[in-house]
Amino acid sequence: MRSGALRVTALAALLATTGCASSVGTPLPSPPPAERPGLAVGDRWVLSGPSGARIEDTYAGPRDEALLFRRVNFAKGSTTVASQYDRLLTADLALIGGGGTENRPDDGALRFPLEVGESWQHRYVRVLQRRTQQQHEVVVDAQVQSYERIVLPGGPFDAFRIESVSKSSTANVPPVAATYWYAPAAKAIVKYQAEVTAPGITATIAFELVELDLKQ
C-alpha cells in the first residue's frame, strides 16, 4: 500500500506541468525565433483545468533571479477560493516550485529562444514536500516540433508546439509523454494535457487558456 501511494504521488507530481496533445492545430510557416517574453506586474492568465476547475495565475514581479506568480484555484462553477499559493518560475518560464513541489534547478519545460526544430535535454531533482520529504531525479528530452494556430476558449493563438518525454528515477513511475503549446502573443503555455496509464493507475491532467489580461 505504501509503495502504491508513493507511486501515485510521484506520478501526479510529474504530470503537474506537462501534457500530451489530443488535437493538432493548423500548421503555419516557421516564424523567427521567439525570445523570452517581457512581463508586466498584473498580467493575468485564466485556465480551465480538469473537471472544469478554474485556475488564475497573476504575475507579481521579480523575486531575486526568479519570477513570482500568484496562483488561485477555484472548484468548477464556484467563486470560492479552493487554494492559493506562490509559484516561482525562471526567466525562461520553467517552474522552480510552488504548491509543495520544488524543482532543482527547474522543470525544463521551456528554453528560449524557441525555434522550430530546436531541442534540449534537461536534468533536475523534484522534491515533494509531504509528511516526509520525497525526491527523485527526472530527465526531460524536449523538441519544438512545429508552429501552429490553435483555437481555444481564450481565442485563437499562433503557438510553438513542443513535445517532450520525462523519465523519472523512480522505477515504478512510467515516462510521461508531453505536448504543449507556447503562444508568444499570450506570453505563456496556452494548452497542455497528459494521460499516463500504469498498472492500477490512470492519471490525467489538461489545461487550456480561457481568459487573458496583459497590461502591455
- Tell me what pLDDT residue 6 has: 42
What's the CATH number where 124 sits? 2.40.360
User: pLDDT below 70 — which residues of the chain?
Assistant: 1-24, 195, 197, 202
pLDDT tens column, 103-141: 999 999 999 999 999 999 999 999 988 777 788 999 999
Contact 189, 148 (CB under 8 A): no
- Tell me what pLDDT residue 10 has: 47
Contact 60, 68 (CB under 8 A): yes
The pTM of the full predicted model, rounded to 2 decimals, is 0.87
CA dihedral sign of residues 6, 10, 15, 16 = positive
| 3-class state of residue 216 by DSSP | coil
User: Residue 214 has what DSSP assignment?
Assistant: -
Residue 67 makes CB contacts below 8 A (sequence gap 6+) with: 39, 59, 61, 88, 89, 90, 91, 93
Count how many domains the chain has: 1
Tell me how far apart the alpha carbons of residues 100 and 92 are, in angstroms, rounded to a whole number.
21
Q: Which residues constitute the domain of residue 121?
A: 2-213
- Tell me what pLDDT residue 29 has: 98
- Tell me what pLDDT residue 46 has: 98
- Tell me what pLDDT residue 61 has: 98
